[in-house]
Amino acid sequence: MTATASLSRRIGGARRLRMGVTALAAAAALGLAGCGASTSSDADGTGGAKGGVADVSGATNDNGVDNVAASITANVKRAKPVPVDTTVKVTGANGKLHDVTLTSKAGVAIDGTLADDGSTWQAGSLLEPNTTYVLKASLTSNQGSSTSWTRRFHTQKLALSQQTFASISPLNGQKVGVGFPVIVHFDVPVTDRASIEKHLSVESQPAQVGSWHWFSDTEVHWRPKHYWKAGSTVTVHADINSVPAGNGIYGQSDRQATFKVGAQHIYRVNMKTDQMKVYSNGKLLRTIPVTTGQPGFTTRSGIKVIVEKDEKHTMNSETIGIPKGDPNYYNMKDVQWAMRMTYSGEFIHAAPWSVGSQGRENVSHGCTGMSTANADWLFHMTRVGDVVNEFGTSRKMEVTNGYGDWNMSYKEYKAGSALA
């Protein structure tokens, strides 16, 4: 062997040694990358990665081939206002989500549900208008790497004319009669009735079958198939916050009310015999002589419900279209024990001026009059929502003139639901 050949072999061996060391160092670096952690935010509006995806991969498998990328995505973008009826959803790919939070800038959190396999998280409620939210999530990839991820976004602005608020009657904590329907009133008209009705519900103990019925774009009622069972507890939910109501209008502010139902009070007024029979839980308590509307002022026949009570009430004929100067004009102050049955002005009340006619003939302007003693007794046992069934005339009670819900068959009533 020449000196030149020996030198060449030594140089070649040194090169191979250096290449081997370099390869080991590269392999070690790749191994470390597979066990590290990363953080992704959307300060640039992209979620820290192209398309708003946080890439948390970086490992290689035993064959030296890259593993499938793990990522976090969401259905809300930072670049434009998010509609308030959006249900926020976070999706994790090739890993498991954990520690997902959605909080408004003011610190109000929206709860959500994480799938058992950690693949998705979904918010449990919709969003408020003109609000900044911060959405955070973490994910552990299938290779064991982890990342934290943040998305900030803002919701659309809504004018008051684009928001409809609900009110519920009976009021929370109120005790009512068996004929009181649930009434939900909206301050801005609802044109997508089905969308809103899907988020209205009534629960009762004991359970009772019933239906919603829309009387207008601003008022929907719910009544059971039969009168409420005495002693029931009823809870009404109007979970309409950010629910589309049609024409670019959204429901706002969920509402809930729980009320109780008292004894079954039903008053039957025979306007031909001028007698009222007062029943409580099916038992006849008293028969009261009454007078109802004279010719030209006929009292309506139908099932009425006590709408309001007033110990003293001013009754002015101008409210029912009888002006001053008319022979039938009246203006009576402090009429005692007044119980309204219709919006148009039919009351049960004390009428001491007509005691001689009570039980014999009809002389009123449409109200049901009785002695002061009988009116006092009835007033103090009556609740708003008690039922008055007046019959014997050809003039019919209008379903919208008070709580006229019971003047429709249940089949007719149910047909008034937007979901029928």
pLDDT tens figures, 273-289: 999 999 999 999 999 99
Give pLDDT, residue 91.
Answer: 98
- pLDDT tops 80 at residue 77: yes
Flag the least confident range among 59-63, 232-236, 258-262. Answer: 59-63
Q: How many Cα atoms occupy the beta-carbon half-sphere of 25 within 13 Å? A: 6
Residues 284, 285, 288, 294, CA torsion sign: negative
**In which band, very low, low, confident or very high, does the pLDDT at 40 lie, cut at 50, 70 and 90?**
low
Q: Is 35 a catalytic residue?
A: no
Give pLDDT, residue 156.
Answer: 97
Give pLDDT, residue 68.
Answer: 66
Q: What is the mean pLDDT of residues 11-34?
A: 38
Q: 129 and 163 in contact (C-beta within 8 Å)?
A: yes
**Nearest alpha-carbon partner for 109 in 96, 123, 121:** 123
Supply the mean pLDDT for the chain.
Answer: 88
Considering 213, 221, 313, 349, which one is annotated as catalytic?
A: 349
Q: What is the DSSP string of 372-404?
A: HHHHHHHHHH--TT-EEEEESSSPBPPTTTTT-
Q: 87 and 126 in contact (C-beta within 8 Å)?
A: yes
pLDDT tens figures, 84-129: 999 999 999 999 999 999 999 999 999 999 999 999 999 999 999 9
3-state SS, residue 45: coil
Q: What is the DSSP string of 90-140?
A: EEEESEEEEEEEEEETTS-B--EEE-TTSSEEEESS---TT-EEEEEEEEE
pLDDT tens figures, 332-386: 999 999 999 999 999 999 999 999 999 999 999 999 999 999 999 999 999 999 9
Q: 34 and 143 in contact (C-beta within 8 Å)?
A: yes
Burial 151-162 (b: 16+ CB within 10 A, else e): bbbbbbebeeeb
Burial 20-36 (b: 16+ CB within 10 A, else e): eeeeeeeeeeeeeebee
Q: What is the mean pLDDT of residues 151-173?
A: 98
Give pLDDT, residue 175.
Answer: 98
Cα-Cα-Cα-Cα torsion 52, 55, 56, 60, nearest 10 degrees, comes to 170
Backbone region of residue 2 per phi and psi (left: phi > 0; alpha: psi in -120 to 50; beta: other values): beta
Give pLDDT, residue 321.
Answer: 86
What the chain holds in terms of domains, given with CATH numbers, is 36-154 (2.60.40.3780), 160-262 (2.60.40.3710), 265-407 (2.40.440.10)
